[in-house]
Amino acid sequence: MGDYIPPALDWVREHAELYESSGGTQGTTLLDTGMPCILVTHRGNKTGGIRKTPLMRVEVDGSYVLIGSMGGQPKNPMWVYNLRADTDIQIRDKTEVFDMRVREVTDDDERAKLWAASATAYPPYDDYQAKTARKIPVFIAEPR
């Protein structure tokens, strides 16, 4: 992979860097919510640079569900395009790091199951979907 390119938003960059620099002993929850996060390392589809994105921790049967909600904004987060272009990622879940392969979930039944698990883990996802016209992308990261 290329050089590390930090997230543009200060709070996201600080979160990702705390998570990574502590070896997964700090920054493992979303701000002060106490809700668990993972750190996804992926390659930028245009720059080839290393990107690190904290996302909500949604684990289902040894795989991780990644929700491209961006808080219900009208556009997808940039990491969605990165995962569509390069499906090999790493996930840090606290102190453990896993090599994973992602795929976008398009099957309606599988998507509904994974969305339900995600909304249980992080209830605001339902609100985010309600406030945007786009269909929020759902990915599953499975062990390589």
Collapse the DSSP code of 137 into the 3-class scheme (helix H, G, I; strand E, B; otherwise coil) and give the result.
coil
Least confident of 24-33, 58-67, 83-92, 130-139: 24-33
Parse the chain into domains and list their residue ranges: 10-143
User: What is 10-143's CATH superfamily?
Assistant: Electron Transport, Fmn-binding Protein; Chain A (2.30.110.10)
Share of the chain above pLDDT 90, in %: 97
Which ranges of 48-107 does DSSP label H, i.e. alpha helix? 78-85
* Angle in degrees, CA 6, 12, 17, rounded to 5: 60
pLDDT digits (tens, 9 = 90+) for 97-113: 999 999 999 999 999 99
Cα–Cα distance for residue pair 83/101, rounded to 1 Å = 9
